[in-house]
Amino acid sequence: MDYFDFVVSEVHGLRIEELAKLRSAGKKVVGAFCIYAPEEIAYAADATMVGLCAGADFSVPNAEAVLPRNLCPLIKSFYGFKINRTCPYFQSSDLVVGETTCDGKKKVYELLNELVPTYVLEVPHKPDTAQGKAFWFKELEAFKTEMEKLTGNEITTKKLKEAIGLINNKRRALKRLSDLRAKSPSPISGLDGLLIDQISFMDDVKRFTAKVNELCDELDQRVRKGEGVASKDASRLMISGCPMAVPNWKVHSIAESVGASIVVEESCVGTRYFTDLVEPKGESLNDLLWAIDEKYSKIPCACFTPNQRRIESITQLSKQFNVDGVVYYTLQNCHDYNVEGVKVERALKAQDLPMLKIETDYTMGDSEQIKTRIQAFLEIIEEKR
């Protein structure tokens, strides 16, 4: 873990220096907030994509001076970071890529565009349909043109194929790590697992992938020896819901401090990011773009409808990770994840799996209350065993 702890300690230092060097060498940096931003296309144009800061409370008051207060904290956090210029990733970005996922983000991107050039991808809200996929294909083509314009580099078949390989390798490494967490006992804490998933959006892709694989080699050994961070009979929990951007570690730290073992995050900072790979069925540029289309259309985000794929994913993960319960995590005023919680709860009930719903923001004011609720949830799980 030393490497990842070092990266997070230097997340506003050495990594920013690296980005500055890339930019002075003429390369472009593209910032994003959503796993719908197609990294493969950005890298094929020789740009670097980074996740932007959106997980801290201290930038929220600046945002609330402009935006309505009853808005998701993730949106207020990122807008505040740009206003107060405290996210160095924002400051290092030549372009921000937004997407029409939820209404709050979509409208705030218009305001963000006043502060930094912001390109918005239109995402089909029924991505599983043929017309949804055809629409998304056109958006991918337009994004490709935008990246070529930004960088001055043509995206060739060869470049796109290489970029797909680069990002597929990152997703494979994260999936390998996730699969190791399914072992009992889990060889790594949920908090460390989350931290690595968060860093995946900021670090250099090749270096990060190599380091995750090195860590997995070590964890393989631990698994063979039966070593874990929590005791063998600690309750195994899945976190499912809104993404947790750096430095949002609230629920993980609380739950693990009272003895739970968080083994999987059904989240965009988690399984939704790395479960599927881009798998081209041919060699042409169009084949590669279609493969990107297919992969991204499978992301089960609650902004889309219907979203049965997410229910299926939660069911599959609950079995694979042998979880004792699910903490359903939503950010305040996130209607999509809040409402979808109804269907998730029904599906879990059918499996006789308990669910605890936590709706929160980035402040620490409700930490004690969350702790008490998680403790009570663990007692329920204990009684069921």
Residues that bind ligand BJ8 (CB under 6 A): 34-36, 72, 74-75, 101-102, 104-105, 242-243, 268, 299, 301, 303, 331, 334, 336-337
Closest CB to ligand BJ8 among residues 36, 362: 36
**Dist CA 342 CA 344 (whole Å):** 5
Tell me if 243 sits within 8 A of 74, measured CB to CB.
yes
Tokens of 361: 């923001």
In the bound complex, what is the minimum distance in angstroms from residue 162's beta carbon to ligand BJ8? 25
In the bound complex, what is the minimum distance in angstroms from residue 258's beta carbon to ligand BJ8? 25
Closest CB to ligand BJ8 among residues 82, 161: 82
In the bound complex, what is the minimum distance in angstroms from residue 68's beta carbon to ligand BJ8? 13
The H-or-E segment that residue 107 falls in is helix 103-112
**Dist CA 271 CA 321 (whole Å):** 12
Tell me if 160 sits within 8 A of 288, measured CB to CB.
yes
Closest CB to ligand BJ8 among residues 76, 211: 76
Closest CB to ligand BJ8 among residues 269, 288: 269
In the bound complex, what is the minimum distance in angstroms from residue 303's beta carbon to ligand BJ8? 5
Closest CB to ligand BJ8 among residues 146, 336: 336
Closest CB to ligand BJ8 among residues 51, 190: 51
In the bound complex, what is the minimum distance in angstroms from residue 101's beta carbon to ligand BJ8? 3
CA angle 44, 48, 49 (to 5 degrees): 105
**Dist CA 156 CA 115 (whole Å):** 32
Residues 6+ apart with CB under 8 A from 120: 97, 98, 99, 100, 106, 109
Tell me if 7 sits within 8 A of 199, measured CB to CB.
yes
Closest CB to ligand BJ8 among residues 122, 218: 122
In the bound complex, what is the minimum distance in angstroms from residue 203's beta carbon to ligand BJ8? 18
In the bound complex, what is the minimum distance in angstroms from residue 245's beta carbon to ligand BJ8? 8
